[in-house]
Amino acid sequence: MKIIENLRQYHDQTPLALSIGMFDGVHLGHQKIINQLNEISQKKKLESGLLTFWPHPRTIFSPGDDLKLLSTLEEKSYLLGKHGVQNLFLQEFDEDFRNLTGEEFIQQILKEKLNVKHLIIGHDHTFGKNKSGDFNLLQKMAPEMGFEVEQIEAVNFGEKHISSTQIRNALSSGKIKEANQMLDYHYSIAGKVIHGKKIGRTIGYPTANIEINSLKILPKKGAYIVDVYVKNEHYKGMLSIGTNPTVFGNTLSVEVYILDFDHDIYGEEISVNFRDFLHQEIKFEGLDHLIARLDEDKLLTSNFNF
């Protein structure tokens, strides 16, 4: 997949089948759009492309929201490439771009800059200043602009449409299995192993503290069954998100105990896939109670069907 980081310097007029959106998490709803994009591009002999924005527009419009994302730009790029997108266009959501009206966006970006011949958008997609662009405007202008447009219906999970927001809500509630089903893969985090307080090693449960990208959403505080990948090797693990209240901690940390593992991995990049929720964060009466619960969690993790 080609990644075009600066749209202003893109001057290729290769005809495109294109979709537009944040595609945070590249969930099942996004995958439905991408599958149709790939099918159309093959049928019409067009290159497939996706126009996305970085940073997320909500960080511009609502900077106080402290929005956390399902995927970093690197993770999103990997997932989109994995699903067969040929071109990824990154558009900075700067002042000039955010002030384009719907009509200007269609004329200047879709037609003149990207030479779009077929456009696919999601069921609720809007664009342009004050959300002045939508499917109706696209249908109206498409014949004049020389492209076809189609809108893809949402994918449902239960009674609700799958969306990045729904998945973030599921993670924030500790509903890991629901989030994974909507994503169609296991939610993951990755980062460098850093030094912590090393309390775990004194009770027989040494943990690797993971430095997490500040943009990534973390699931609800608590304990989880996880896959751990270290130097391309797979291990079972139990991960804790919390402040270690039993030992009067007050700083949020992400720590993973890796089963059947005894190596120094400080400074190594590791990744973790969430498989199941064990329990919420607990303040135990003492270390003996903590160890007893860790023993229970270890048994559950050992017996988990990975």
Express each pLDDT in 264-275 by its tens digit: 999 999 999 999
Q: Hunting for tokens 């199941």 — which residue is that?
A: 276
**179 located within any domain:** no
Residues 56 and 124 in one domain: yes
* Per-residue pLDDT at 98: 87
Which secondary-structure segment (H or E) carries 66? none
Residues 127 and 194 in one domain: no
Domain range enclosing 279: 187-303
Residues 198 and 295 in one domain: yes
Residues 148 and 46 in one domain: yes
**174 located within any domain:** no
State mean pLDDT over 90-108: 92
Q: Which residues contact 125 (CB under 8 A, 6 or more apart)?
A: 20, 21, 134, 135, 151
Confidence of residue 64 (pLDDT cuts 50, 70, 90): confident
Domain count, the chain: 2
Helix (H, G, I), strand (E, B) or coil at 283: coil
* Per-residue pLDDT at 54: 84
Give residue-wise pLDDT tens across range 245-262.
Answer: 888 788 999 999 999 999
* Domain CATH number, residue 66: 3.40.50.620
Question: In degrees to the nearest 10, what's the CA dihedral of 73, 48, 89, 106?
Answer: -130
* Per-residue pLDDT at 65: 80
**171 located within any domain:** no
* Per-residue pLDDT at 58: 80
Residues 230 and 87 in one domain: no
> Pick the residue with more confidence: 62 or 303?
303
Give residue-wise pLDDT tens across range 11-20.
Answer: 999 999 999 9
Residues 192 and 295 in one domain: yes
Give the Cα separation of 52 and 248 in Å (integer). Answer: 43
Residues 136 and 254 in one domain: no
Q: Is 230 left (phi over 0), alpha (psi -120 to 50) or beta?
A: beta
Strands 222-230 and 269-280: antiparallel
**170 located within any domain:** no
Residues 283 and 199 in one domain: yes
* Domain CATH number, residue 276: 2.40.30.30
Q: Taking CA 80 as the corner, what is the angle to CA 30 and CA 159, rounded to the nearest 5 degrees?
A: 20
**103 located within any domain:** yes
